[in-house]
Amino acid sequence: MSVLPLQALPLEILRQRSSTKWRSYDDDVIPMFVAETDFALAPAITSALMRAVEIGDTGYTPPRPGIDTDFAAYAERRWGWRPDPTRIRWTGDVMMGVVEVLRAVTSPGDRVIVTPPVYPPFYDTVEEAGAVVERVPLVDDGQRWSLDLAGIERALAAGARSVLLCNPHNPTGTVHTRESLTSLARLAHRYGATVVSDEIHAPLTHAPSVFTPFLDAGAEAAAVGFAVTSASKTYNLAGLKCAVIVTGADETAAVVQALPWEVEWRAGLFGVIANRAAFAAESDAWLDSLLVALDDNRRLLADLLAEHLPRARYRVPDAGFLAWVDVSAYGWGDNPAPHIRREAKVALHHGPLFGTEGVGHVRINVGCAPDVLREAIQRIGELASRS
């Protein structure tokens, strides 16, 4: 039986939301910048949260909230990988988990490799941990992006102590291949380094691409790796704080177990409740419908750009609801997003925040109704025709 696409909520409902996406700009601006989506919650999540409110279940997160076994079952069901629940801990959000792991595996002044263009908080997180950013940009062969394994090896050989991986990659939507992840793990193992993998966009991998959890990319990956993830991006739960930190070996599990106790206490009870409901099998049908909607939109964007912004460069992403688009041909400066927001009334994410590779780029959130996407690109196309 075919799966129907999930329908986005009407704009009159969305504009009642109080989150960043809907409170940063006036109502004449179409917001397509921050990674919030425009869909109703999965019914299982709504039910779980409503029940918690009804009975006043708003206290402290329990010492064994159950998200470890729920995530392990979810990973096995969706990706064919069964992490050991005893090696799964929890915290407030993915970046909290990343910074705490980096603090534990690096010393002040150590270099941590990032692979730009990459999610802007990566740079801040490395610095918050007391380390120093080492840039090794993705390789762009004109068809797809990939890890620069030779560049990463040079950085590791020169003393870099960790790799902060984005898997799948934000903003390009690249799903790293099993082969590249295995090679990365071998390099890290050879040079005594670690890999911290942000896997928050993993559930949004589009066929025929296949997501490989870093810890499942071989014995060396399990030995050197830490994965941090959450249901928050896929199920639109960023305001409900919860993420999991996953390890695959006794040594790395011991590192996480030794983190300060308050790292786990940062997970909010509503975040745990919502994440558990998201990871439950009863939410799988909702996710499948979401994937159909996002698949339609990522392809629709290609058609809209061809019609309204034919000089823009865009590759349909392997995963997620974020599109990386080069609009430098239109002469809107190194950072086109402010100009587009002022003149076309469409708010996009600023490309240069992702690294110097983002000059002339914007990131577009396609997690919306098709008609909203059409209106946004038509507005930008009209701006181009006036330029």
136-178 residue pLDDT tens: 999 999 999 999 999 999 999 999 999 999 999 999 999 999 9
Confidence of residue 2 (pLDDT cuts 50, 70, 90): confident
Q: Are 346 and 374 in contact (CB under 8 A)?
A: no
Q: In the predicted model, what is the mean pLDDT of residues 215-228?
A: 98
Domains and CATH numbers, the chain: 11-40+284-386 (3.90.1150.10), 46-283 (3.40.640.10)
- The token pair that represents 366 in the structure block: 């396609």
Confidence of residue 387 (pLDDT cuts 50, 70, 90): confident
Q: In the predicted model, what is the mean pLDDT of residues 275-297?
A: 98
Confidence of residue 1 (pLDDT cuts 50, 70, 90): low
Per-residue pLDDT of 254-270, as tens digits, reads 999 999 999 999 999 99
The full DSSP string for 41-72 is PPHHHHHHHHHHHHTT--SPPPSS-SHHHHHH
Q: What is the pLDDT of residue 193?
A: 98
Q: Mention every residue, 6+ apart, whose C-beta is less than 8 A from residue 29.
A: 341, 345, 346, 347
| Cα gap 22→16, rounded to integer Å | 8
